[in-house]
Structure 1
Amino acid sequence: MADPNWRVRAAGPADADALSLVASATFLDTYAGSLDGSDMVEHCAAKNRPETFVAWASDPRDAVLLGEIIPGHAPVGYAVLTSTIDLPVPLEAGDIELRRIYSLSRMHGSGLGPALMQQAVDAAIQFGSRRILLGVWGENHRAHRFYERQGFTVIGTRQFRVGAVVHDDLVYARPV
């Protein structure tokens, strides 16, 4: 794609409010109509607090990326790569977790998703990681196709709570 109207950049603690906003917006955009609205609001309020992003962006073992529209720099996507792994699979030396990667649906097909993924892979390489792990809702078939195009394969499952409901997720991995 020539001359996209977006950019991806490393985010820092000062970006926490924008990250919190785009995290909730993309979660709602992705799952509205699939998950209970009150469960989604509760989940976003608990999981997408600015303090969470400050902690990730302040940790030298983590990478936080922000996708923005040009001009104006409105947040439209993000990714978070963490050294702390919260997945119930056997871990290997050099594992890192792609904790989150989302973009607003208006950005689908723009190349933003692959750009976020590539920068996450580049960060994993810089950290000396050997494998990236991630969890995704079992019913998010669009995400499954995206991850598989990016070289990920299913290595396990987990359960993930959103509000009052426990969902079945797939756990993916790919070498870096």
Structure 2
Amino acid sequence: MNNLQIRQANLEDLSALQAIGRQTFSETYVDGNTEENMAAYLEEGFSEEKLGKELRNENSQFYFAMQVDEVIGYLKVNAGDAQNEKQDPDALEIERIYVLQKYQGKQVGTLLYMQALAIAKARKSPYIWLGVWEMNPRAIRFYEKNGFVEFGEHIFQLGDDAQRDVLMKKPLPDFFEK
């Protein structure tokens, strides 16, 4: 895609982060979830208070995929105690890679993923890991294609629905030797 740029988001981007977060989460998960559970999660998970706290956490970083002046996707990574599941403190968690539906299949997610790998390399992380909803086969295939393997599971609470996420990780030593 022409003019696609990745840039780090900061506290001044809170409203843009909230908008892209709610829209992409909605587009991704509206099918297969109740309206009530979606509304509850969108309100709580993307509240100004929660996002502001995450943006101020030195162990979390957000990146926007920008097409000219439009935010079309974003990445959130966590290290240390910001990880959702306590893993190796040096590991890097990809908590979110979301892209607007109309830009999916256009390498935006791949560029955000490459940003996560660059962060992991800079941190000298031994591996990168994530949780992906078991009912999201497209995302699971993407991660498997990129060398991730399943190593566990956890429960993701969406409103009153406890959903199973597959935990996947990719060791990174080969990445550092290149």
* TM-score of the aligned structures, taking structure 1 as reference length: 0.89
In 2, the alpha carbon distance for the partners of 1:42 and 1:9 equals 29
The share of aligned pairs that are identical, in percent, is 26
Counterparts of residues 36-55 of structure 1 (less than 5 Å): 36-55=34-53
Greater share of helix: 2
Paired residue for 2:56? 58
Do the aligned residues in 2 keep the contact of 1:82 with 1:99 (CA within 8 Å)? Answer: yes
Equivalent of residue 134 in structure 1, options 127, 130, 134: 130
Cα-Cα RMSD = 1.6
Which ranges of 4 or more aligned residues in structure 1 deviate by more than 6 Å?
none
Indicate the SS of the match to 2:14: helix
Do the aligned residues in 2 keep the contact of 1:19 with 1:50 (CA within 8 Å)? Answer: no
* TM-score of the aligned structures, taking structure 2 as reference length: 0.88
Paired residue for 2:100? 104
Do the aligned residues in 2 keep the contact of 1:63 with 1:123 (CA within 8 Å)? Answer: no
Is 1:144 matched with 2:144? Answer: no
In 2, the alpha carbon distance for the partners of 1:87 and 1:79 equals 18
Query: For residue 21 of structure 1, what is the amino acid of its counterpart?
Result: A
Query: For residue 131 of structure 1, what is the amino acid of its counterpart?
Result: Y
Shift of 1:5: 4.2
Paired residue for 1:69? 67
Paired residue for 1:26? 24
In 1, the alpha carbon distance for the partners of 2:55 and 2:155 equals 26
Q: How many residues get paired?
A: 170
In 2, the alpha carbon distance for the partners of 1:131 and 1:156 equals 15
